Structure 1
C-alpha cells in the first residue's frame, strides 16, 4: 500500500442571513403604501394636484377596488441553516501520482420556502383527460364571481416559511502528478446531485411565482436545483522553465467538460387558473389520444393529426421528453448538452533583485475557449429553443384542456423540430485577456 498523505473531514451546522430584501418586503408590501387599479378609461383620472383625489378609501366602490400585494413571515421563521459534512483522503499511488477522493453532503435544516396564503386551494376540480392536475375554480381575481374568501382585493399574500427537504451530494475524484522536468498534470471528475424546494430569487412574490409546478403552487415539492451541474470533468497540463537567471516561462492548458444549463418544459398561458402564466409543467402525452390539439391562431390551418405528427416527432428527438411519455415534466429536468472548453495561458516572468529580495514582473496572455479559436465548432454552448412547448387554449365541451403546438414560422408553416440551438454569446466565443502583475519581496 502506498503512503497515505492525509485523511480529513468535518461536520457542522452553518447558518447565515437571507437577503434582507426578503424581510423588507414586509414593510413595503403591507397593503398600505402601495396599490394598483385596473382602469378601463384613463380619462376618468385627469391630473389633480390633490394626491388624495382618486384614492379609493376602504374600497368604497366595487368598480374601483384597489389591489395590493402582501409579504409576511411566519412567527417562528429561522434564517437559512444547513448541516454539512465532508470526508476526503489524499494518497500517493504507484508512479508518484497523488489521488484524492472527497465526498460532500449537505442537508437543509431551515431553507426558505414560500407559499401564497391568498390562493384558494379549497376550490378546485381535477382536469379531465390524461393531464388530470387540479384546476382552481375560484380564482384570486378581485371582483370575480367566486373570489378568495379572505380578501378579493389582495393579489398575493406571500408567506415566508422554512423547509427542511432540500439536500445535495457531491463526489469528487482527482489524480495529479508533478514531474521533475517541469511538467504538471491533473485530471478530475465531480458528480453532483442537488434537490431543492425553492432556489431563491429577488423578492418574495417572484420567488413564489417563478417556481414551476404540476399541481398546488404552494406544495413543498423537491426537484433538481437550478444550479446543479451533475457531471463535470476537468484536466490540466502545465510546463514551467526558468532560465538565464532572470526569466521564467509557464505554458498551461485547462480543459473543462460539463453539463449545460437546466430548463423546465411548461405550458404557455395559465392552465391551472392560479393567475400565473408559464409556471405549469407540461404533461408529456404517450399518443394522440392523450392530448386535444387545436389551431394556434385563425391562420393556422393544421389539422389535429398534422399537429400531433409534428409534436410526436419533437418528443421523439428530445432525449429528455422521450423518457417522460405518460408523465409530467420535472422542474429543471431538461439538461442542455455538455460543453467542452479549452483555455490557454502563457505567463512570462522577469526576476529582478531589489533590496536583497527577488521581485517579479509577470506578463500574462490568456485565451479563453482556445478551442473555439482553432475550430469555430468547438466550445459552443447549446440553449433550448423554447421551454413553453405547448400553448394552453382553454377547455373543450368535455372539460379537457386543449393545446396548440406553436410553429417557429407560422406564416411559412415551419414547425419546431429540434430542442437546442447554438448560442452566439461570449460563452461560445474565444476571448483574449492580457495582464501585467508585479510581485514584491518574494
Structure 2
C-alpha cells in the first residue's frame, strides 16, 4: 500500500481560498493467494456422471446428481485468481473562523472467484455465480463499492462563555451493489446440472442474452414476450449474443446526510478535585437528515437478493425435436436428459418460455427512516 500527504495553499486567480490545505492520496493493492474453492467431484470425476454435455452458448452441462441418486463429493481446494485495487483521495481544511471541511473519494476494483459465505461446503459450491461452477474464474466481487463520495462540514464556536457549540454535517453517496441477470431455474429444470441429496439449484447461472432477431442459440415459445424482453435489454444496455457478465450491473446509488450538534456544559461540581478539568457534553444526532426534511429523500435501496436477478424461465430442447414438432411441441429436457442429449454445442437450443421484468433495486423501509438520538457525554 502507498500513502501520500501534502499540505498546500489554494488560490484561483485573484481569489485567496486560504492556506494549510491537506491533500491525502492512498492506494491499496491486494492479491488472492490460495483462496478457498469448492468443487463437486461427483460431477467432474465419477464415471456415472460422464460425459458432460454442452449448452448452446458453450457452457458445460453437468450431471443431475439428484436424478441419478448420486451423493455429492464436495472438495475444498484453493485458487489464486483475484485482486483488489482501492484508491482514495481526500482534501481537508480548517479555518480560523471555526469552520472545517473534508471531501474524499474512493474507488474500488475488486475481483474474486468465490465468496464462501455459507457454513456448508456444498452450499458454498452451489452459491458460486459462474458460467462453470466447477471451474470458476475471477470476476467482479459482489462486495465491491465502485465509487464512494464523502463530505463533512463542521463549525465550532463558544456562544455561551467558554462552552463550545459544534455543528457537524456529514454526507455520503456511493454506488449500489453489483448483481447478475440469471436464469430462473427449478428442481426439475436446473438447465446445467444439479447437486445430489435433495440440494436444489440456486438461480445463479448467468443468463444468455440472445441477439435481436434470429439467434442460433435461442428459440421463443408462443407465450414469451419477446418485445418486452428486448426492450428491457436495450434499456439496461446489456450486451447481446453472449452470456451476461457476472456482477456487471449495479443497483441504485445510496445518498444520505447526517447531522450532529454538540454543546459543552459545566462539569460535575467537586469532580475537578479528582479528575481536574471535566465537562459534560449534550449530543444530538440526526441520522438520515434528508428523510426528516422530506420523506422522499434519504431512501435506502437494496439490490437483488444474493446479487442475482432471475429474469427468464427457459429449458433446453434438441434442434431435431424443434424441427420435427415445432417450438412449443418440443419436449423439455429435464433431470439428467440435457447432459445426454446436448452432446455438442449445436445439438440443443434454449427455449425461452417466460420473462419477468423485475426491479433491480427495492426500497428498504427499515433503513429509509430518520433517527434522532439525544445523549449526555462526560469528558474528564
> TM-score per shorter chain, which class?
0.7 to 0.9
- Determine the structure 2 residue equivalent to 1:435: 375
Contact persistence 1:168–1:195 (CA under 8 A): yes
2:127 aligned residue (196, 210, 218): 210
1:376 equivalent in structure 2 = 295
> Could you list the per-position Cα deviations for residues 235-291 of structure 1 after superposition, in whole angstroms to 9, with x for gaps in the alignment?
100111234445221111111010012222110111212342412110111214223
Q: Which runs of 5+ in 2 are unaligned?
A: 10-18, 196-200, 323-347
Matching of residue 423 in structure 1 with residue 353 in structure 2: no
Residue by residue over 1:351-396, the C-alpha shift from the partner in whole angstroms, topping out at 9 and shown as x without a partner, is: 4262161222222221111112222222223345781110123425
Q: Distance in 1 between matches of 2:160 and 2:74?
A: 68
- 1:292 maps to 2:212: no
Deviates more, 1:265-274 or 1:386-395: 386-395
Please tell me whether the aligned partners of residues 382 and 420 of structure 1 are also in contact (alpha carbons under 8 angstroms).
Answer: no
Structure 1 runs of 4+ off > 6 angstroms?
A: none
Q: Counterpart of 1:199 in 2: which secondary structure?
A: coil
Q: Kindly tell me: are residues 357 and 323 of structure 1, through their superposed partners in 2, closer, same or farther at Cα, counting changes over 3 Å? A: same
| Residue aligning to 1:119 | 43
Deviation of 1:350 after TM superposition, in Å, equals 1.4
**SS state of the match for residue 258, structure 2?**
strand
Alpha-carbon offset, residue 208 of structure 1: 1.0
Partner in structure 1 of residue 327 of structure 2 = none
**What secondary structure, in the 3-state scheme, does the structure 2 residue paired with 1:206 have?**
helix
Matches within 5 A, 1:188-203: 188-203=104-119
Match of 1:393 in 2: 315
Which residue number in structure 1 is paired with residue 235 of structure 2?
317
CA contact (8 A) 1:365 1:432 kept: yes
Give runs of aligned pairs for residues 203-352 of structure 1, distance below 5 A. 203=119, 204-214=121-131, 216-245=132-161, 247-269=163-185, 270-275=190-195, 276-290=201-215, 291-294=218-221, 302=223, 304=224, 307-318=225-236, 322-352=237-267
Mapped partners of 1:377, 1:126: distance in 2: 49
Distance in 2 between the 1:391 and 1:360 partners?
Answer: 65
Rounded Cα–Cα distance in structure 1 between residues aligned with 2:97 and 2:220: 68
Contact 2:280 2:377 in 1 (8 A): yes
Indicate the SS of the match to 1:400. Answer: strand
Distance 1:170 1:207 in 2: 26
What is the TM-score when the length of structure 2 is the normalising length?
A: 0.78
Query: Once the two structures are superposed, what CA deviation does each residue of 1:159-199 show, in whole Å capped at 9, x if it has no partner?
Result: 11121112100011100001111111000110110000111
Q: Tell me: CA distance 1:372–1:252, structure 2 relative to 1, closer, same or farther (3 Å).
A: same
The structure showing larger relative contact order (alpha-carbon pairs under 8 Å, at least 6 residues apart) is 2
Q: 1:363 to 1:244 in 2, by over 3 A?
A: closer
Corresponding position of 1:105: 29
| Other-structure match for 2:325 | none
Work out the CA distance in 2 between the residues paired with 1:421 and 1:167.
27
Residues 260, 381 of structure 1: 8 Å contact kept: no
Please say if residues 260 and 335 of structure 1, whose CA atoms lie closer than 8 Å, have aligned partners that are also in contact.
yes
Give me the whole-angstrom Cα distance separating, in 1, the residues matched to 2:118 and 2:136. 19
| Helix, strand or coil at the partner of 2:229 | helix
1:396-415 CA distance string (max 9 Å, x none): 525212122334xxxxxxxx
The 3-state SS of whatever aligns with 1:286 is coil
Instruction: Give the SS at the match of 2:91.
Output: strand
Asked if structure 2 preserves the Cα contact closer than 8 Å seen for 1:258 and 1:340, the reply is yes
Distance 1:406 1:432 in 2: 43
Secondary structure of the residue that 1:358 maps to in structure 2? coil
Contact 1:341 1:369 (8 Å CA) reproduced: yes
